[in-house]
Structure 1
Amino acid sequence: MKEKYLFTSERLGFRNWTKKDLHQFAKINADIDVMEHFPKPLTEKETSDFIDRQQKHYEKNGYNYFATEIIKTGELIGFIGFAYQDYKTDFTPATDIGWRLKKSSWGNGYATEGAIKCLEFAFNKLNLKKIISTCTAKNSQSENVMKKIGMKKIGEFKHPKLKAYPKYEKCFCYEINKSMWQQRL
């Protein structure tokens, strides 16, 4: 099973997206608890568009928000990985690390485990120098993962893509660079 993955952590496999992921990932994106810190759950069409964008992003950059599975079962639990962000802020353009996992997988340490392995991949294989991560001000779970993986808060900002959604507009930004990563080891 491991051969289909770009890389693995102890329990998780990371790969590019396929159209076969649509149904399972659409269920994750339709869950109101999973999408609590986003303006709305996503439709199946929006999920299909997301997968298309991720496939194109991978072809262009060699990374994306990787489809993430539990190796032992092959179950798709969501994504952990990267996206190049060029919306207008003081800290972009930059590569962002993010995650979205199905509710049944919460509380198992998957986001932290996966994000650590993704950072290792980013710094050692992709030779990226710096990674950022953002979350809404009320998303303490994601902010905790950012802290656990060694990221440092660099500021608060109003997300330019969320202007139409004042409830979500205030966000935090964290970052980690290659030397911070190496010091943490």
Structure 2
Amino acid sequence: MTEIRTPRLILRRWHDDDLLPLAEITADPEVMRWMDDGSVLDLEQTAEAVERWEEEWDEEGFGLFAIELLASGELAGFAGLSVPDFLPAVLPAVEIRWLLGRQFWGQGYASEAAHATLEFALQDRGLDRVVSINRMANDASENVVRKLGMTSEYETTHPVHGFALSVHSIDLTEYHG
């Protein structure tokens, strides 16, 4: 079982008892406003998402980790890697993603989880390049992208929803783990 420990977090595969706390996170409109089309997810949709993420682990050897707080055992959200099929222009690529419940914002957890995920991608999984695709004006995610050392590649439009996206990347030669 793949697990990463950081000073404050455990990044791990999904457990059955993660579903309800994750569904609470994905039901929050403020949390979801930057994800996909901004829609919240109900319990069934959240379960389907976790199932897709677990399938990606099986198929690709990477996926989205559950983020657990080391001190309390609380589920804080997710971080990990996925193939961004929704944006064919960047393919073949692997995207780094993260999402935290609102009560976990502003504490450095996203950056900590993203750094661990990037190291996992480039050093453990042997990827040569990782991208980050963010909606424009998502300043919190742009801040994490800068902390990761990713550079801006270009701006584009979401092919289905029409909103502006920024694409950043980092490759193994640029990474300073």
TM-score normalised to structure 2 length = 0.93
Paired residue secondary structure (1:17): coil
Q: Which runs of structure 2 are paired with 1:1-185 in the superposition (5 Å)? A: 6-38=3-35, 39-160=38-159, 163=160, 165-166=161-162, 169-181=163-175, 184-185=176-177
Is the 1:5–1:13 Cα contact (8 Å) retained in structure 2? no
Deviations 1:34-80 (A, max 9, x none): 01223211111110100100111111122111101111111100001
Paired residue secondary structure (2:29): coil
| Structure 1: runs of 5+ lacking an equivalent | none
Root mean square deviation, CA, Å: 1.4
The residue type equivalent to 1:51 in the other structure is V
The residue type equivalent to 1:151 in the other structure is M
CA distance in 1, matches of 2:30, 2:93: 28
Deviation at 1:83, TM superposition (A): 0.4
Q: Structure 1: which 4+ aligned runs deviate by more than 6 Å?
A: none
Aligned length in residues? 175
Paired residue secondary structure (1:10): coil
TM-score normalised to structure 1 length = 0.89
Paired residue secondary structure (2:33): coil
Deviations 1:144-173 (A, max 9, x none): 11011100010111112xx2x34xx21101
Deviation at 1:16, TM superposition (A): 0.9
